[in-house]
């Protein structure tokens, strides 16, 4: 009988020694989601001109190994939709696109802030594209603004950040001292510049007005004005709520203009009264105009907007297509 007792005691001891490590191993598998982190960089995905990237371009640029691989959807061309991966505080930094005109175009603004976002929130992102330069180098178009927007996507409260794009500026002889053609860190778009007249920038999230032969930059809520000479020559940039296309050059005669950059940049035009388009942004940049065959007619830069904490904003710092970097 005592042998059976010894065997039972021995089995219990062995079972306890095996079971105890198994229990602790399962407990260690519970990892808090707050320890996660990531960096997500949104680009123009090789798209240029007045229309943003397609789903195919997005897939070709955010490939395996990229943090955005299979994570970005295009339902409306150019607008990148991304679902927030975890509930956390996110830092969002956005750059507006440069205006057209080689080295003379206005520079995009940079806007940065911190935001509390919830898992599975769908964020819509427009990455501004650079303005263009007309074939005869006498006019250029506005650069697009860069927009990072949450639901319902149509109010000031929806805005996370918007970074204004630069105005078109075709030549090195432009009047630069006022910084009119740069994307602005403030909410208002900048006025255009010209010898005979110029247009004021947009305010309160609206597109700018147009003066003479160029088109204005778009705001968040309303489009930029069409070509001031006639809408048959070119259109203003489209507001974010209207799809953010750049303005379209419609002047088909030799010596015509150039489309605006995606993100609401205004188109530019050549012939007679020439002018360069305004930049897109929270409020659109105004157009520039000139009566003679010189380059002094830059468009104004678009305005910016930031709803975040720990803000860090700067005008006129970015010399390329826009981009967005989100970290947590």
- CA 315 from centre of chain: 15
pLDDT at residue 13, as a whole number: 40
The residue whose two tokens read 């943090």 is: 67
Rounded Cα–Cα distance for residues 98 and 165 (Å): 6
Is 183 exposed, middle or buried, given 0-12, 13-18 or 19+ CB atoms closer than 10 A? buried
pLDDT at residue 39, as a whole number: 97
Closest Cα to residue 149, out of 306, 315, 277?
306
Strands 80-83, 309-318: pairing kind: unpaired
Strands 323-327, 309-318: pairing kind: unpaired
- Angle value at C-alpha 276, between 275 and 278, nearest 5 degrees: 130
Rounded Cα–Cα distance for residues 168 and 98 (Å): 8
Query: Residue-wise over 29-52: b if at least 16 C-beta within 10 A, else e?
Result: eeeeeeeeeeebebbbbebebbbb
pLDDT at residue 35, as a whole number: 45
- CA 16 from centre of chain: 61
Q: Which stretches of the chain score pLDDT less than 70?
A: 1-36, 136, 171-178, 195-197, 252-255, 271-273, 290-296
pLDDT at residue 135, as a whole number: 74
* Joined tokens for residue 202: 């947009």
Eight-state DSSP code of residue 79? -
- CA 194 from centre of chain: 28
Cα distances (Å, whole numbers) of residue 54 to 58, 230, 275: 6, 31, 30
* Joined tokens for residue 25: 């191993």
The residues pairing with 323 across neighbouring beta strands, listed in sequence order, are 95
* Joined tokens for residue 263: 């993100």
CA Rg, the chain, in Å? 26
């Amino acid at each position: 009988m005592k042998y059976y007792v010894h065997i039972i005691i021995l089995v219990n001891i062995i079972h306890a020694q095996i079971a105890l490590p198994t229990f602790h191993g399962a407990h260690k598998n519970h990892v808090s989601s707050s320890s996660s982190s990531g960096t997500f960089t949104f680009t123009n995905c090789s798209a240029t001109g007045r229309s943003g990237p397609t789903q195919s371009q997005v897939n070709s640029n955010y490939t395996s190994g990229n943090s955005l691989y299979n994570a970005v959807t295009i339902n409306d061309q150019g607008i990148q939709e991304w679902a927030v991966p975890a509930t956390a505080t996110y830092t969002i930094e956005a750059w507006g696109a440069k205006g057209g005109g080689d080295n003379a175009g206005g520079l995009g603004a940079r806007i940065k802030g911190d935001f509390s976002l919830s898992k599975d929130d769908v964020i819509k992102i427009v990455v501004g594209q650079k303005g263009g330069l007309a074939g005869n180098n006498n006019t250029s178009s506005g650069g697009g603004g860069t927009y990072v927007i949450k639901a319902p996507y149509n109010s000031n409260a929806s805005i996370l950040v918007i970074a204004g794009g630069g105005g078109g500026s075709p030549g090195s002889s432009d009047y630069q001292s006022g910084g009119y053609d740069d994307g602005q860190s403030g909410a208002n778009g900048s006025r255009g510049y010209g010898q005979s007249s110029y247009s004021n920038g947009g305010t309160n999230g609206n597109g700018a007005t147009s003066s003479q032969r160029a088109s204005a930059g778009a705001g968040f809520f309303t489009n930029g004005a069409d070509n001031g000479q006639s809408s048959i020559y070119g259109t203003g940039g489209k507001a974010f709520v209207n799809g953010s296309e750049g303005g379209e050059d419609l002047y088909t005669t030799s010596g015509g203009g150039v489309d605006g950059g995606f993100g609401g940049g205004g188109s530019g035009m050549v012939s007679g009264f020439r002018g360069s388009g305004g930049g897109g942004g929270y409020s659109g940049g105004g157009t520039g105009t000139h009566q003679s065959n010189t380059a002094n007619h830059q468009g104004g830069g678009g305005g910016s907007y930031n709803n975040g904490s720990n803000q860090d904003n700067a005008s006129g710092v970015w010399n390329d297509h826009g981009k967005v970097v989100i970290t947590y």
